[in-house]
Amino acid sequence: MTDEIDIPTEPRAAVDALAAHLTATADRPVPPATNRWLGEAEAVARDATSDNLDTQTRQKRVRQVATLLESADETDDAVADRHIEAAIECCRVVLDNE
């Protein structure tokens, strides 16, 4: 993974990227307690990618993901940290633009 991660500027693409970044953390060696928060955030993010969601529900899901990410402890893994940072940026894109 490179130092630069492209964050989509379009909300729908940012939701897809959000889910992808959180899925990528599943294979990383993070502490079990942190992994639980990330796993729940991943599940909610995947739900937010559903085509049949209205904008209000999608934003609610993304807000839930942001809250879960704020609650997660340190990962002690630089790659996981970059994915989490990117996921947080994706949340901002969605919540600021939809």
Do the beta carbons of residue 69 and residue 97 sit within 8 Å? Answer: no
Burial level of 53, CB count in 10 A (0-12/13-18/19+)? middle
The model's pLDDT over 18-43, given as tens digits with 9 standing for 90+, comes to 999 999 999 999 999 999 999 999 99
Q: How many CB atoms lie within 10 A of CB 35?
A: 19
The model's pLDDT over 56-96, given as tens digits with 9 standing for 90+, comes to 999 999 999 999 999 998 899 999 999 999 999 999 999 99
User: Where are the chain's structural domains?
Assistant: 11-96
pLDDT in the model for residue 68: 96
Maximum pairwise Cα distance, the chain? 36
pLDDT in the model for residue 92: 96
